[in-house]
């Protein structure tokens, strides 16, 4: 059975917190354990921060969109902004020696670490990121695809 | 829960007891301002007690790195005390665990400052 819930949110830090807490509920509802709930919520928080801060740049006229869908034992989360777009191919590796001591640039890395699949789509304008977590699978061999 | 930071002096070291969430916004700002104020006052031996920090995001991790760098640039030392499992795991994943000096015991940590 497929179940989908979606939200339209303001470009604020309050919305980021809301996205995070909603992710905990969605992950719990999908049957994930407490550790996974925390990891999924963190991935959603990081994606929401990217949408609000880097995508929409706190523009009050721009929204970001969050959707949770449970299907076939997986939780599929979509976060879309109305910003200038993101090129996932050119995100610096935060583990590279030259980046290790930088004060930012770890958000997408953490998203990839905590989810099983991460997909980016350019929505012109904006970016849509899809995060997928399968119930009962460790995130150690996370896959990523760009579309 | 928002973040709180309170400082105390022990054996010439400033121990900063932090609690709550270090995330983009208030939590990161509290950490940044606390360390900046200590450095401005000439405090160069800083031990951040993260035992009651329940959550940290990528912004908070970045703030820890920036704090470490700014103290080191002033010829000071910033060390970490009592990481929760979550913070420990995040520092491992981001390969920062070996960058910081990390201790579980306060007395032992205090003894390592030069």
pLDDT in tens, A93-129: 999 999 999 999 999 999 999 999 999 999 988 999 9
Average pLDDT, chain A: 91
Per-residue pLDDT of chain B (114 residues; tens, 9 = 90+): 578 999 999 999 999 999 999 999 888 899 999 999 999 999 999 999 999 999 999 999 999 999 999 999 999 999 999 999 999 999 999 999 999 999 999 999 999 998
- Cβ within 8 Å, pair A100-B99: yes
A14-18, A105-109, A142-146: range with lowest mean pLDDT:
A142-146
The Cα–Cα gap between B17 and A118 comes to 37
Interface test with B, best of A49, A106, A114 (most B CBs within 10 A): A106
Of B25, B86, B94, which is closest to A106 when you measure between CB atoms? Answer: B94
Q: Domains of chain B, with CATH numbers?
A: 4-105 (3.30.750.24)
pLDDT of residue A143: 46
Domain boundaries, chain A: 3-146
This prediction's pTM: 0.91
Work out the end-to-end distance of chain B between its first and last CA atoms, rounded to an integer number of angstroms.
35
Cα–Cα distances in Å, from B57 out to A48, A124, B49, B70, B77? Answer: 12, 28, 17, 20, 23
Q: Are residues B59 and A104, on separate chains, in Cβ contact within 8 Å?
A: yes
Mutate to test the interface with A, among B1, B20, B21, B24 (most CBs of A within 10 A): B24
Rounded to the nearest 10 degrees, what angle do helices B58-73 and B26-40 cross at? 10
> Which CATH number does the domain A3-146 belong to among 3.30.565.10, 3.30.70.270, 3.40.50.620, 3.80.10.10?
3.30.565.10
What's the ipTM?
Answer: 0.90
Predicted confidence band of residue A5 (pLDDT cuts 50, 70, 90): very high
Tally C-beta pairs within 8 A across A and B.
49
Distance separating alpha carbons of residues B90 and B79, to the nearest angstrom: 16
Torsion of CA A146, A75, A21, A61, to 10 degrees: 40
pLDDT at A146 over 60: no
Residue A104: list chain B partners with CB under 8 A: 58-59, 62
Please write the tens of the pLDDT for every residue from A21-43.
Answer: 999 999 999 999 999 999 999 99
Which residues pair with residue B53 across a beta bridge? B20
Contact residues for A48 (Cβ-Cβ < 8 A; gap 6+):
A9, A15, A16, A19, A20, A64, A66, A79
Instruction: For residue B89, give both structure tokens.
Output: 């795991």
Of the candidates B23, B62, B69, the beta carbon closest to that of A106 is on B62
């Amino acid at each position: 059975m497929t179940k989908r819930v979606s939200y339209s949110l303001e470009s604020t830090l309050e919305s980021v917190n809301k996205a995070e807490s909603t992710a905990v509920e969605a992950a719990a509802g999908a049957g994930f354990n407490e550790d996974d709930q925390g990891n999924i919520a963190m991935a959603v928080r990081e994606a929401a921060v990217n949408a609000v801060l880097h995508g929409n740049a706190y523009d009050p006229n721009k929204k970001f969109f969050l959707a949770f869908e449970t299907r076939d034992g997986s939780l599929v989360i979509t976060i879309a902004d109305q910003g200038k777009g993101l090129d996932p191919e050119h995100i610096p590796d935060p583990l590279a020696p030259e980046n290790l001591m930088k004060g930012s640039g770890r958000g997408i890395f953490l998203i990839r670490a905590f989810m099983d699949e991460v997909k980016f789509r350019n929505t012109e304008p904006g970016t849509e990121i899809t995060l997928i977590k399968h119930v009962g699978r460790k995130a150690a061999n996370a896959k990523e695809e760009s579309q | 829960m928002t973040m709180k930071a309170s400082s105390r002096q022990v054996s010439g070291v400033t121990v900063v007891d932090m609690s709550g969430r270090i995330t983009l916004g208030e939590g990161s700002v509290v950490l940044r301002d606390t360390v900046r104020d200590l450095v401005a006052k000439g405090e160069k031996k800083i031990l951040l007690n993260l035992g009651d920090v329940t959550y940290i995001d990528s912004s908070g991790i970045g703030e820890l790195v920036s704090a470490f760098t700014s103290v080191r640039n002033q010829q000071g030392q910033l060390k970490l005390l009592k990481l929760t499992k979550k913070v420990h795991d995040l520092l491992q994943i981001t390969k920062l665990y070996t960058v910081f000096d990390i201790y579980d015991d306060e007395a032992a940590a205090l003894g390592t400052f030069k």
